[in-house]
Every structure is written in structure tokens, then in C-alpha cells.
Amino acid sequence: MTHCPYCALQCGTQLSQDNGAVRVRPTDFPVNRGGLCQKGWTAPALLDTPDRLRTPLIGGKPADWDTALDTVANELRRIRNEHGPDAVGVFGGGGLTNEKAYLLGKFARLALGTSRIDYNGRFCMSSAAAASTAAFGLDRGLPFPVTDLGDADVVLLAGSNVAETMPPIMRHLDGARLIVIDPRHSRTAERATLHLRPVPGTDLAVALGLLHLVVTGGWCDEAYIRTRTTGFEDARRRAIAWWPERVEQVTGVSAAALRDAARLLGQARSAYVLTGRGAEQHSNGTDTVSAFINLALALGLPGRMGSGYGCLTGQGNGQGGREHGQKADQLPGYRMITDPLARQHIAQVWGVPPETLPGAGLSAYELLDSLGTARGPKGLLVFGSNPAVSAPHAGHVIDRLSALDMLVVADFVPSETARMADVVLPVTQWAEEEGTLTNLEGRVLRRKRLRPPPDGVRTDLEILHGLAVRLGEPETRYPTSPRAVFDELRRASAGGKADYSGISYARLDAGEALHWPCPDTGEPHPGTPRLFLDTFAHPDGRARFVDVEHHDAAEAVGPDFPLYATTGRVLAHYQSGAQTRRIRELAEAEPEPFVEVHPDTADLAGLREGDLAEVRSARGRMTARVRLTGTLRLDTVFLPFHFPGDGSANRVTNAALDPTSRMPEFKVCAVRIGPAEAGHD
């Protein structure tokens, strides 16, 4: 048994081989209960994709491993000697195993000595992480098992289209009345009891309006607020100014619909508030999530059996990926790199003086934006990410990648970023490697190997070991065995917020369900499937209301760019599409980029169903096939972000950053549309 390589549900699967062909079937694992989406069913096809990388490439030409690693190490050494350690950067991914994420962070900070490390998870859940930490003192996507959702009366989904992005979770929502907040009538909204369609970028005002109605409707849990929280009065005063008619004027959500939503939540026996990327990917994303957490706290949901707040993590190891050192400001165990005690603990585990550890680096987009400049890295190593497609203002990011002295990409397919690389290092895929991942519930899972990798392919751990030794590091500091790396990770995480010290491969292989924190107490700790039942993680044990106010998106519509563009995922594809676009069934299901447009909006732009349209913002342009969608807002177009080149939605998106999480504003930018110029087809 192993787990699907895609989203953070990490559905349970059973792999087998028949004459060399890998077959998959779902298991009755709690999160998927015997179901899989089409991405999971077709995942084995990627293992033998015709353009699978099977040998290192230098300048696009095949090379042996020693030559490739020598080339990379020599150039890294030259750049560091001439420009200092921060002249080398590392960009990781939320799909890497815990072991890879841990060793990548260690490699960056010790072998390279650089602070310039971050990862694509900054684009995924960083706003919810910041908001959850502020409110609860701890960030875990769902602080309860997915199966708890099955008993809910009402579930509010703010900015999440789970029916397409993680379909098996819908099995747990079938009995609930859904309130969906999304400017688009998505597949999830089709299942909703109530669908609120705000103007893109106004989700925070919707949350403030709901809190207003909960307060004035008498639905606050006064005893819970009094005994388990602080800061309610400031949040209440803020929300009182957001009466329903004002919210309608700002958001377009009718006062009547807002009242219906508040009534459903206020009268529910069991309710959950769940946020996704649609609430987070804004220049005020942290405040937006905080506003929805305030709503949940006022209703008395977090830390209660049968109710709660959670964030729906996106990437397969989006949770574990940020806990163990890939993020610019964090060390393993979810420790902050600026904390002297945290630095001392990790330095002791690594066998180095604390003062040798670098400080906090740049966030993901800021790192990419600085590449090749006087202040930024001249060399970059990319593991498990495709920023040429996935980053905002993608045309600019491609320019910055092109300005590097050296770009090194470790991948198993020639992604758009790998095609730009000076050196490409072919790595193993999910069914060819061992390791652990942490799903959206904080449950640590075992990835098990079905078959050996092809000749000429190495693991990420082997690559990091080979480079570190060439850079003068001790061989024993960078194990190539996932089990050995995990055992070190356990020691490094001990005593931290994300404590894995009581988890072992033996316990996971025996089938134990272990959610962190799971400390080593001398006796087998059962793990913590449900957080906050007795106390929150702040020193006083109380949750915090955070006083937040709505402000407009960083970019306003106007005469030149009169429409809002919002981006998202579709059922057939995943992230930048580098994997799913190579699978025949998925590519046939969604073969090309498209833009959803209301028929009246399309008519004004001179567009019809099936036309090729140009979508242009202040940053760039992309082309996509028109899909007329009568349920879409007239002022909004929707773009999937899975496609490269002229079809890349991120050529138009805005890189405005949230001041706290440093997450870019993917979900709203100002555009205009019209017929594509001749030749763009």
C-alpha cells in the first residue's frame, strides 16, 4: 500500500505490476474510502512517459553523473567565492517527501551557507499558516481528521473548489448543507445549498458581514468566547460596521443571501468553516483567512468535537514541506529561524555552531524576482517545482531565470523550467522511492517503493549527498537512506511545534495512524488527530481574535482593463501541469487553455464560443479558447493555470504580496479580452 502522488488528501492506493505495467487501485483509506479521482487512476502512466528524463543533461546534451555533479559543484563554488553564499539560491517544492524537504534545507544552510531558500508552498497555504498561527498558536491544515466532516450539518467553503481539486473529499460532505463562497459557479458550487458570488478580492468583506450577522443575530457562543478566546471585543466592533447592505454594495453578494448563510451557520448543530486558495491568494490573504477564523471562533467551533475551522492544503506534502526547513524563515520542527533556542537545537543535531546558520531569507516570489540581479542569486537549484509556469508574472520570472549564471533543475520530466536549465538532473518518481509525507490532516504517511528506478536515475537524497561531499561537507552529514534521514528529522523536530520524534518507520509500517504532534515520551505516543480540544497553543491556552479590515485588491479594474481575472485548477490537471499534461487521458480531457466568459461579456468583446481570445493585463498577455459560461459574473473571467507558453495564465497575474505571508495575489487582477491576433493559435 502507498499513496497517490498528487493532492494533500494523499488517497490510499495499492500498486501492482503485470508484465512490467504498473496498475493502481484505491484502498479503503479514511480520506478516500475506496475512491480516486481521474488523476489518481492514471498516475502510473507518468512512470513510463516517453520523454522521461533518464540521464543528466549539460547544456541539453547527455552527460555522466560524475561530470554533471562536478560541473554543478564547481560552478556553485565559483559563484560563492566571487559573490558570497547568498549568491546561490534553492527553490523547493510542496510535493517533496519530508526526508527530501529536510535534507534540502540542511544542504542549503550548511553545504551552501545560503539564506536564499524557499519553495512553491509559499504560493499555496502560507496565508492560512500565518493566520492559524496568529489565532491558535499553531498551523496544521486540518486540526481534525477528514472523517469528522461526515457528521457536519453545515460546511462553509471559502474559496475552495474541492469537487474538482480533491474529489474524494466530497464523500465526507454529502450529508452537509454547503455554503460556497466563490465568484465562479464551480462544480462544488453546483452541490451547494447556498452559493455566494463575491466580486473577486472582496472575500474579507463577506467574512466581516457574516460575523456582523452572527453577532447581531445572537448566535455567538458567549461562554466559549469568554473562556477560550481573547480579543473578541475589537473584532466585534470592526464587524458591526459591516451591515449586510454595505457588504452587498462592496461585494455584490445580496444582503438576503448573506443573512441566509449566517442563519445556516448560527443554527447548525455541527458546523465547519474551511478556507482554500480562493481566500488566501490575495494581497490581504492572511487578513481574509483571519476574518473567517474570527467567524468560526465567534460560533465556538475550533477545538470542539464535531465542529471546527480548517484550511484545505493543496499540494501532496504541502503540510510537511513547510515544517522541516524549506521555507525561508523556518527550521525543522516548525521552528522559527530567528529564535535563538531553535537555532541552538538544530545546530546541535547538525553538529555545527549555531552562529554558522544563516538567517531568514527571501520569500518565494521575492527570491525569483531577485535572480541574476546585483542583490540576488547568480545560481539557482530547483527541486520539485516548475516556477516558469507556476509563479505569478511568469514572463518576468522567465526573464529572471534566464539571467542566471547557472540554473540546475532536478526533475523526472522536462518541465518548462527544466528546459531552461544549464544542468538537468533526473530523479526518481513516487513509485520508485521510499519516504514519508504529511497530509492535510497532519497525518504522517509512508510512501513505499514498488519498483527500482530506471538506470541512470538517482534519488534527490543521492544528489544532495553527491553535491555536498563535492563542496567539502562530511559524507555522514547527508544520508542517502530515507529511513536514516527520517530518524535525524525526528531528533531535529523533537520539542518543536511539529514534533515527529515519536513517529518511526516501524510504527507507520505497522499501520498506526499517527498525526503530529507525536513526541517521544518513552512510551508509544498515540499522536494527536484532534488539536485544541483542551487548550490552544498560545501560552495562555486561549485562541486569539484578530482585528482585521477589508481593503481593495492591489489592482483595480478601469477603462483599459475592465474585467477581473481569477485563476484556479480543473479536474484533469494538477499544479503547473508538467505531470498531467503528459498523461493521454488527462490531456484529452483538457487539451488546451481556456477562458470562461459570460456570454454578454463575450459579446461585448466580439467573442463567440470556441474563439481564440487574447487576455491581457498590465504585465503581459495569454491566449485561450473561449468557453461561454452563463453562471459567471459579468465582470469576471476564469483562467486555469496549468498551461505553459502563450496559454500561461500566470503571464497576466499580479505579483502583489501579502505583507505577512508574502503570498502573491493570484486570485484577482485587472484584464481585458478580445479576439486573438492572427498567428496566435
Task: Encode pLDDT of 67-87 as tens digits.
Answer: 999 999 999 999 999 999 999
> Tell me, what's the pLDDT at 440?
96
Average pLDDT (189-209) is 98
Closest alpha carbon to 132 in 534, 578, 479, 531: 531
What dotted CATH number matches 127-312?
A: 3.40.228.10
CA 3 – CA 27 distance, rounded (Å): 9
Q: Which of left, alpha, beta for 341 (phi over 0: left; psi -120 to 50: alpha)?
A: alpha
Task: Encode pLDDT of 144-164 as tens digits.
Answer: 999 999 999 999 999 999 999
Dihedral of the alpha carbons of 145, 146, 148, 149, in degrees to the nearest 10: 150
The tally of CA atoms less than 13 A away on the side-chain side of residue 410 is 29
Task: Encode pLDDT of 242-255 as tens digits.
Answer: 999 999 999 999 99
Q: What cell was used for 483?
A: 529511513
Average pLDDT (398-424) is 98
Residue 225 reports pLDDT greater than 80: yes
The tally of CA atoms less than 13 A away on the side-chain side of residue 160 is 25
What dotted CATH number matches 54-122+317-494?
A: 3.40.50.740
Residue 588 CB contacts under 8 Å (≥ 6 apart), including other chains: none
Angle at 332 between CA 471 and CA 520, to 5 degrees: 125
Average pLDDT (504-520) is 97
CA 263 – CA 254 distance, rounded (Å): 14
CA 126 – CA 132 distance, rounded (Å): 10
Average pLDDT (546-563) is 97
Helix, coil or strand: residue 367: helix
Task: Encode pLDDT of 623-674 as tens digits.
Answer: 999 999 999 999 999 999 999 999 999 999 999 999 999 999 999 999 999 9
CA 100 – CA 110 distance, rounded (Å): 15
Whether the ω angle into residue 62 lies within 30 degrees of 0, i.e. cis, is: no
Amino acid identity of residue 156, one-letter, is L
Q: What cell was used for 49?
A: 512517459
Residue 601 reports pLDDT greater than 50: yes
Residue 571 burial by Cβ neighbours in a 10 Å radius (0-12, 13-18, 19+): middle
Angle at 673 between CA 668 and CA 674, to 5 degrees: 175
> Tell me, what's the pLDDT at 314?
83
> Tell me, what's the pLDDT at 156?
98
Q: What cell was used for 258?
A: 448573506
pLDDT, the chain, mean: 97
Percent of the chain's residues with pLDDT above 90: 97
> Tell me, what's the pLDDT at 678?
64
Residue 412 reports pLDDT greater than 60: yes
Length of the chain: 681
Per DSSP bridges, beta strands 423-426 and 406-411 are: parallel
Residue 355 CB contacts under 8 Å (≥ 6 apart), including other chains: none
How many distinct helices (H) and strands (E) make up the chain?
23, 29
CA 476 – CA 371 distance, rounded (Å): 32
DSSP assignments along 161-188, one per residue: -HHHHSGGGGGGTTTSEEEEE-SS--HH
Q: Say if domain 563-675 classifies as CATH 1.10.620.20.
A: no
Amino acid identity of residue 406, one-letter, is M
Helix, coil or strand: residue 330: strand
CA 564 – CA 186 distance, rounded (Å): 17
Please say whether the beta carbons of 68 and 34 come within 8 A. no
* Residue of higher predicted confidence among 125 and 13: 13
Residue 679 reports pLDDT greater than 80: no
Measured between alpha carbons, how far is residue 188 from residues 32, 193, 345 in Å? Answer: 17, 10, 45
CA 560 – CA 430 distance, rounded (Å): 46
Residue 681 reports pLDDT greater than 50: no
CA 126 – CA 280 distance, rounded (Å): 8
Task: Encode pLDDT of 200-216 as tens digits.
Answer: 999 999 999 999 999 99
Q: What is the side-by-side strand order in the sheet with 271-275?
A: 194-196, 177-181, 154-158, 271-275, 308-311
pTM (predicted TM-score): 0.97
Q: What cell was used for 332?
A: 525543522
Mutual orientation of helices 482-493 and 340-350 as an angle, nearest 10°?
A: 150
Residue 680 reports pLDDT greater than 60: no
The domain limits of the chain are: 54-122+317-494, 127-312, 563-675
Confidence of residue 677 (pLDDT cuts 50, 70, 90): confident
The tally of CA atoms less than 13 A away on the side-chain side of residue 90 is 28
Average pLDDT (270-285) is 97
Q: What cell was used for 541?
A: 491556552
Amino acid identity of residue 135, one-letter, is A
Run of H or E including 180: strand 177-181
CA 295 – CA 300 distance, rounded (Å): 9
